[in-house]
């Protein structure tokens, strides 16, 4: 079974990204032949600042490697190193109906926000289809927000196969990451970079303390009983502690006499426990930039022959050979 997923390099990753996506990617490394890549071509649709893009790519690579992505157990590469991807994208665009792309939610959402779209944003799902199809992926673990793009990929692959009467592409399975629920940000809304309410995975010390202390709570007096489920600190804490500890905190909230700052201190401690080892690994990796680059190059060396074979099949099918 081939597993593939892409990660957009659009800034520092936060604990919502970790619980919602990265953790599952790491677990899947042992369930099949896993391919993970940094989607830098996709990022160009939103990041138009070259130095920022370079830094984001490096940051995502460091984050994933520090958190346990193991180049010995999966193939980790940079999308733009696979020159076959944009070529396959073109072949796919010629069987992609405009209407299919016009119906994509992520595109429609951006239009609704008043963004003036460029062709890259419109064609985004076709590039994603090329990423997926080029390595004959069977399973594409993505969050709910990307489900429609995987469906578009299946549709494009079937249209190509039907147009040329050949089984050129493997039809990927539409598997969605198990719902972990939405991780709340420090203001209680969905945690997101774009809302500025995120807690970075690699924050530590004073910076982490300040961030957690800024988690919004109400002004109920210490002695008042409190509703844990309506409290942002509790809702974050429960994602990282055992079921028993969660029950204890629930009890303390309901009973009254709880200081929010005590729950916040515990949250800082569990974040330190959960991410402490990864933070140390990340510091070591930062000192070895050549290693990170070598991992990505080696990943590309493994993917390119696979990509070249798929592209050759597709070219031949449509008469360009
Ligand atoms: P952001 O909203 O911060 O820009 P992305 O859209 O880049 O994050 O998210 C990448 C992946 O991380 C998503 O597909 C989703 O699975 C996961 N993710 C992001 N934010 C959250 C969250 N608050 N709760 C759960 N999962 C999340
Ligand atoms: N669009 C995905 C996201 O924003 C990233 C991505 C690009 C991707 N190509 C992919 C995910 C191929 C899965 C498969 O999260």
CA of 145, nearest ligand number:
1
Ligand 2 centroid to Cα of residue 199, in Å, is: 22
Q: Please name the residue whose Cα sits nearest to atom 20 of ligand 1.
A: 16
Residue 145 pLDDT class (50, 70, 90 cuts): confident
Scored b (16 or more CB within 10 A) or e, 255-279 reads: eeebebeebbebbbeebeeebeebb
Ligand 1 pocket, 194 CB below 6 A?
A: yes
Ligand 2 pocket, 17 CB below 6 A?
A: no
In this prediction, residue 163 carries a pLDDT of: 98
In this prediction, residue 10 carries a pLDDT of: 81
Least confident stretch, 39-43, 153-157, 194-198:
194-198
In this prediction, residue 178 carries a pLDDT of: 66
Determine the atom of ligand 1 nearest the C-alpha atom of 177. Answer: 16
Ligand 2 centroid to Cα of residue 279, in Å, is: 25
In this prediction, residue 176 carries a pLDDT of: 67
Ligand 2 pocket, 128 CB below 6 A?
A: yes
In this prediction, residue 257 carries a pLDDT of: 94
In this prediction, residue 144 carries a pLDDT of: 80
In this prediction, residue 182 carries a pLDDT of: 84
Strands (E), the chain: 2-7, 33-38, 74-78
In this prediction, residue 125 carries a pLDDT of: 98
Q: Which two tokens stand for residue 277?
A: 């080892």
Per-residue pLDDT of 270-281, as tens digits, reads: 999 999 999 999
Per-residue pLDDT of 54-92, as tens digits, reads: 999 999 999 999 999 999 999 999 999 999 999 999 999
Mean pLDDT in residue range 88-99: 98
CATH number of 193-283: 1.10.240.10
pLDDT, averaged across the chain:
95
Ligand 1 pocket, 239 CB below 6 A?
A: no
Q: Please name the residue whose Cα sits nearest to atom 7 of ligand 1.
A: 8
- In the block, tokens 């002004």 appear at 219
CA of 180, nearest ligand number:
1
Catalytic residue list: 110, 190, 193
Domain 2-181+289-318: CATH architecture, name and number where available: 3-Layer(aba) Sandwich (3.40)
In this prediction, residue 143 carries a pLDDT of: 82
Phi-psi category of 147—alpha, beta or left, where left has phi over 0 and alpha has psi -120 to 50?
alpha
- Check for a shared fold between 2-181+289-318 and 193-283: no
In this prediction, residue 197 carries a pLDDT of: 96
Ligand 2 pocket, 146 CB below 6 A?
A: yes
Residue of 146, 150, 152, 307 best suited for mutating to test ligand 2, as the one with most atoms within 8 Å of CB: 146
Per DSSP, the residues of 256-315 read S---HHHHHHHHHHHHHHHHHHHHHHHHHHHT-HHHHHHHHHHHHHHHHHHHHHHHHHHH
Selection from 23, 79, 70 nearest residue 281 by Cα: 70
Q: Is the pLDDT of residue 297 over 90?
A: yes
Mean pLDDT in residue range 129-151: 93
Mean pLDDT in residue range 111-127: 93
In this prediction, residue 186 carries a pLDDT of: 96
In this prediction, residue 226 carries a pLDDT of: 95
In this prediction, residue 177 carries a pLDDT of: 67
Ligand 1 centroid to Cα of residue 13, in Å, is: 9
DSSP 8-state code for residue 129: H
Residue of 2, 3, 4, 5 best suited for mutating to test ligand 2, as the one with most atoms within 8 Å of CB: 5
Residue 21 pLDDT class (50, 70, 90 cuts): confident
Ligand 2 centroid to Cα of residue 290, in Å, is: 26
In this prediction, residue 12 carries a pLDDT of: 84
Q: Which two tokens stand for residue 104?
A: 């994509």
Residue 295, Cβ density class (10 Å: 0-12 exposed, 13-18 middle, ≥19 buried): buried
**Backbone torsions φ then ψ of 50, nearest 5 degrees:** -55, -40
Domain ranges of the chain: 2-181+289-318, 193-283
Per-residue pLDDT of 176-208, as tens digits, reads: 666 667 899 999 999 998 889 999 999 999 999
Per-residue pLDDT of 211-270, as tens digits, reads: 999 999 999 999 999 999 999 999 999 999 999 999 999 999 999 999 999 999 999 999
In this prediction, residue 180 carries a pLDDT of: 64
Ligand 2 pocket, 67 CB below 6 A?
A: no
Determine the atom of ligand 2 nearest the C-alpha atom of 128. Answer: 9
């Amino acid at each position: 079974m081939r597993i593939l997923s892409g990660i957009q390099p659009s800034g520092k990753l936060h604990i919502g990204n970790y619980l919602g996506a990265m953790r599952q990617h790491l677990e899947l490394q042992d369930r099949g032949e896993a391919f993970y890549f940094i989607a830098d071509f996709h990022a160009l649709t939103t990041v138009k600042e070259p130095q920022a893009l370079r830094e984001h790519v490096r940051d995502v690579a460091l984050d994933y490697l520090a958190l346990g992505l193991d180049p010995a157990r999966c193939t980790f590469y940079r999308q733009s190193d696979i020159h076959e991807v944009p070529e396959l994208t073109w072949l796919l665009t010629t069987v992609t109906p405009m209407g299919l792309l016009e119906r994509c939610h992520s595109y429609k959402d951006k239009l609704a926000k008043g963004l003036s779209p460029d062709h890259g944003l419109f064609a985004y799902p076709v590039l994603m289809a090329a990423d997926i199809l080029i390595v004959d992926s069977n399973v594409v673990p993505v969050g709910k927000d990307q489900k429609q793009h995987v469906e578009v990929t299946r549709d494009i692959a079937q249209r190509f196969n039907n147009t040329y009467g050949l089984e050129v592409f493997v039809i990927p399975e539409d598997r969605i990451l198990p719902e972990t629920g939405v991780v709340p940000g420090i203001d209680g809304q969905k945690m997101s970079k774009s809302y500025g309410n995120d807690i970075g995975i690699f924050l530590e010390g004073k910076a982490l303390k300040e961030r957690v202390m800024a988690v919004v709570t109400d002004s109920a007096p210490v002695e008042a009983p409190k509703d844990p489920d309506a409290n942002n600190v509790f809702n974050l804490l429960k994602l990282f502690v055992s079921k028993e500890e969660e029950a204890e905190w629930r009890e303390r909230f309901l009973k009254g006499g709880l200081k929010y700052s005590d729950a916040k201190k515990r949250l800082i401690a569990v974040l330190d426990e959960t991410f402490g080892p990864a933070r140390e690994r990340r510091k070591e990796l930062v000192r070895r930039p050549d290693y990170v680059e070598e991992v990505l190059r080696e990943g590309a060396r493994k993917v390119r022959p696979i990509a070249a074979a798929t592209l050759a099949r597709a070219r031949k099918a449509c008469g360009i050979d």
